[in-house]
Amino acid sequence: MSQAAPPAPLAFAAARPLSGAVTVPGDKSISHRSLMLSALAVGTSRIEGLLEGEDVHATAAAMRAMGATIGRDGDAWTVDGVGVGGLLQPDRALEMGNSGTSTRLLLGLVASHAITATFTGDASLSKRPMNRVIEPLSAMGAEFTPSPGGRLPLMVRGIVPAVPIEYRLPVASAQVKSAILLAGLNTPGITRVIEPVPTRDHSERMLRGFGATLDVEELPDGTRIIEITGEAELKPQHIVVPGDPSSAAFPVVAALLVPGSDVVVGNVGLNPTRAGLYTVLRMMGADITLEDERVVGGEPVADLRVRHSGLTGIEVPSEVVPSMVDEFPVLFVAAALASGRTVMRGLDELRVKESDRIAVMAEGLRAIGARVEELEDGLIVDGTGGAPLAGGATVAAHLDHRIAMSFAVAGLVSRAAVTIDDMAPVATSFPGFVELMTGLGAEVR
């Protein structure tokens, strides 16, 4: 896991125009859910395009430890599930590495099984708040013994039968929503989640795809009421995981910023609850065209053709934040090269990701010559109007893959190279990132 790996510093420098066609690894959110739901189906599921990153490996190891058989068949993964209610007591702690999604979703699964499990994580994950899932899952009857502040390491004792709840999400979080829905799978009756602001809906789509009874009602104000009927029976599936739009964001923004670039990023998932970055970049004047729009594994997918574009700063509408919550670090870099001012607010959740992404990005961007003002809930960036940044600094990734990749992109548009102190965390979500960027023409040393 990234905690144990020695730091891997790498410098990214001004690149010639980027060109070529690439595909990015499978969607991380869908990959986690594919393994979890397949492990709860009765029979053998097949998963193509699974992200083979450390975070997903953490989920796979946990599902194996709780009884699923997970193997490889050529390029595809196979999962023999134990059935809803059939998860077994693991005989060791579940090591979650850097992965918040694995942790929060698996806490939901364990909460409604007769299992007592300890969850551990790396230094980054051990700082992240778990009370957001502990609270609703405790209301369903599970018992938690967390470290101070509701953090990892923590122990959970699940309960059978769990109690169905109705829960209104106090934060816009797909992880919290999904934890409750997964707990609801093995809970008698109807478990209801009320979501005032829509977040990524992969859990809903996939639970239905696996045969669970799940209803979604959308109110005129956009609130979504999601109901899952418990003691579900899941049927094994053949899943094709589309490319991750959150990973595609890095080569896309790099191509927009490096003069003369013309790049195709193929097979990008464009679920509307995930595609906010692409809408915002186009509002800023980005030349991104969607080619060969199609549906893969129940998700909209397209190839993105991206050409270098002069971007203009905007006020980013706060409604789009949940649909691009992971993409702000790289949007900050795009804003640093835009003409004029970009104002981004409503980003409180960025402070509790793999790092405090507002503070860490503000500090690193300043170190390489960008003009930024940190707000409690966001960032104001005054761009260079396309001129390169100064660069010439080493920035700290803080065990955060998206920070590392964002500053890699910044290095490509800086006068002096930008060194990232540790690129190892990139392996959590985007194995092959450095090779992919080098293949497009990036200068990496």
Binding residues for phosphoenolpyruvate: 28, 100, 128, 175, 357, 402
Q: Can you name the residues that pair with 341 across neighbouring β-strands? A: 382
Helix (H) or strand (E) holding 443: strand 443-444
Shortest CB 127 distance to ligand S3P, Å:
14
Show the binding pattern over residues 96-125: x = contacts ligand S3P (CB under 6 A), - = does not. -----x------------------------
Residue 325 interacts with ligand S3P (CB under 6 A): yes or no? yes
Cα dihedral sign, 402-362-120-236 = negative
Q: How far apart are CA 65 and CA 82, in angstroms?
A: 12
Nearer to ligand S3P, 200 or 308 (CB): 200
Q: Which range binds ligand S3P by CB under 6 A, 172-180, 234-242, 261-269, 386-394? A: 172-180
Residue among 55, 303, 326, 422 flagged as catalytic: 326
Q: In 3-state terms, what secondary structure has residue 185?
A: helix
Amino acid at 264: V
> In which element (H, E) is residue 110 found?
helix 100-111
Is residue 271 involved in binding ligand S3P (CB under 6 A)? no
Where does this chain touch ligand S3P (CB under 6 A) — which range of 173-181, 270-278, 297-305, 379-387?
A: 173-181
The answer to whether 34 contacts ligand S3P (rule: CB under 6 A) is: no
**For residues 209 and 51, what is the distance between their CA atoms, to the nearest angstrom?**
20
Q: Give the range of 14-22, 167-175, 250-258, 274-282 binding ligand S3P by CB under 6 A.
A: 167-175
Map the footprint of ligand S3P across residues 200-239, applying CB under 6 A: 200
As a whole number of Å, the CA-based R_g of the chain is: 21
Size of the site for ligand S3P (CB under 6 A): 10
Query: Among residues 173, 271, 342, 414, which is the contact residue for ligand S3P, using CB under 6 A?
Result: 173
CB 200 to ligand S3P: min, Å: 6
Among 122, 244, 326, 327, binds ligand S3P (CB under 6 A): 326
In order, the DSSP letters of 281-348 are: HHHTT-EEEEEEEEEETTEEEEEEEEE----B--EE-GGGGGGGTTTHHHHHHHHHHSBSEEEE---G
Query: Which residues are CB-contacts of 267 (< 8 A; sequence separation ≥ 6)?
Result: 23, 24, 242, 243, 296, 301, 303
d(CA 224, CA 193): 8
414 strand-pairing partners: 389
Residue number, 12 or 210, with CB nearest to ligand S3P: 210
Report the residue from 13, 14, 29, 391 that binds ligand S3P according to the rule CB under 6 A.
Answer: 29
- 27 within 8 A of 269, measured Cβ to Cβ: yes
Tell me the closest approach of the beta carbon of residue 216 to ligand S3P, in angstroms: 16
State in angstroms the smallest separation of the CB of 212 from ligand S3P. Answer: 17
In the annotated binding site for 3-phosphoshikimate, the residues are 28-29, 33, 173, 175, 326, 353
Q: Which is nearer to ligand S3P, 103 or 414 (CB)?
A: 103
CB 176 within 8 A of CB 165: no
DSSP state of 119: E
Tracing tokens 């998932």 back to the chain, one arrives at 269
Tell the smallest beta-carbon distance from residue 178 to ligand S3P (Å): 5
One-letter amino acid for residue 4 of the chain: A
Query: Chain-centre distance of CA 76, in angstroms?
Result: 22
- What is the torsional sign of CA 390, 396, 398, 404? positive
- Piece of the chain touching ligand S3P by CB under 6 A; list 67-75, 111-119, 174-182, 363-371: 174-182
In 3D, which of 408, 344, 404 has the Cα closest to residue 372? Answer: 344
Report the nearest approach of ligand S3P to the CB of residue 35 (Å). Answer: 12
Report if residue 355 touches ligand S3P, rule: CB under 6 A: no
Q: How far is the CB of 101 from ligand S3P (least distance, A)?
A: 4
Q: Would you mind telling me the total number of residues written for the chain in this entry?
A: 445
Binding residues: 28-29, 33, 100, 128, 173, 175, 326, 353, 357, 402
Q: State yes or no: is 326 an active-site residue.
A: yes
Q: Which amino acid is at 148?
A: P
Residue of 130, 174, 284, 440 that binds ligand S3P (CB under 6 A):
174
Query: What is the distance between the alpha carbons of residues 169 and 359, in angstroms, rounded to a whole number?
Result: 26
- Least distance in angstroms from the C-beta of 429 to ligand S3P: 8
Token output for 331: 């949007």
Task: Give the residue, chosen from 178, 187, 261, 323, that forms a contact with ligand S3P under the rule CB under 6 A.
Answer: 178
Binding test (CB under 6 A) with ligand S3P, winner from 98, 175, 271, 355? 175
**Sites of contact with ligand S3P (CB under 6 A):** 29, 101, 173-175, 178, 200, 325-326, 349
Catalytic residue numbers, as ranges: 326
